[in-house]
Structure formats: C-alpha cells, structure tokens
Amino acid sequence: MKTRRAVLTFIMIATVTPFLTLLGGIGASEQQTKSCEGDINEFCQGVPPGAGRIAQCLQQDEKQLSPGCKLHIKELAEQVKEVHQACADDIMTYCADVKPRGGRIANCLAANLDYVSPECKSKISEQRN
C-alpha cells in the first residue's frame, strides 16, 4: 500500500509539477530545488530538468531521499490533488483534447484562465502564494 501511494505521488508530481511551476512562476521550481537540492545532486546529476525528468529520477531513489525532500514531495502532492479537484471540470471542458505530461494541461489552463471556474481560479491563485 505504501509503495502504491508513493508511486501515485510521484506520478502526480511528474505530471503536475510543470502546472504548478507555470502558474506559480519560477518559485515552485526554486522551492523544489532548495528542498531537494542535495538529493537531486546525489541521485540525478546530469539529468536535464523539464518534462518531469527530475521527479522520475527522484522516484527511482525514493527510499533514500532526505526527510526534507520527502516532506516537500508530500506537500506538493497535496497541492496537486487540491488543484486537480478544483479544476477537474475545467480540465474536461477546456483541455479534453490535450495530452497530459510536459505541462500541456497547465498551458491549456493558463490559456483559458479567464474562463475557468471561480473555484479553479481561486485554487490556482492560492497555490501561487
């Protein structure tokens, strides 16, 4: 059960981290780098950032990650879950034909930010801060 939860957490991070980074500016990326900097340097040296590659790399060494990085990943997964829940209808409405990964859903929501529901817009704004 723990393994399944961890895998789902990393899958969520790999697919939605670009979403949070895009909508929150570079702050989300900088925060992840600070929380997991040592882990990234140790386990993911030479892995080019983008398209969830760092998250995938960290997933491979999940059990060896530092407590701070594990905590950050857990918090990020919760944020992802909240945004997904708030924006699920908007994703289906405005981004149904968009293939997930690589920040494509995030780009779609950002392009339609003026049209998404107040709940989705509010959650996105909340995650920016």
The residues near 97 (Cβ < 8 Å, ≥ 6 apart) are: none
Dig out the tokens for 91 from the structure.
Answer: 């994703």
Residues of the chain with pLDDT under 70: 1-33, 128-129
Residue 105: count of CB within 10 angstroms of its CB: 22
What pLDDT, on a 0 to 100 scale, did the predictor assign at position 116?
94
Q: Which of 76, 118, 122, 120 is nearest to 95 (CA)?
A: 120
**What is the residue type of 120?**
C
The pLDDT of residue 110: 83
Structure tokens at 8: 């789902």
Query: What's residue 31's pLDDT?
Result: 54
**Tokens read off for 60:** 């491979």
Q: Copy the structure tokens of residue 69.
A: 């990085």
pLDDT value at residue 97: 92
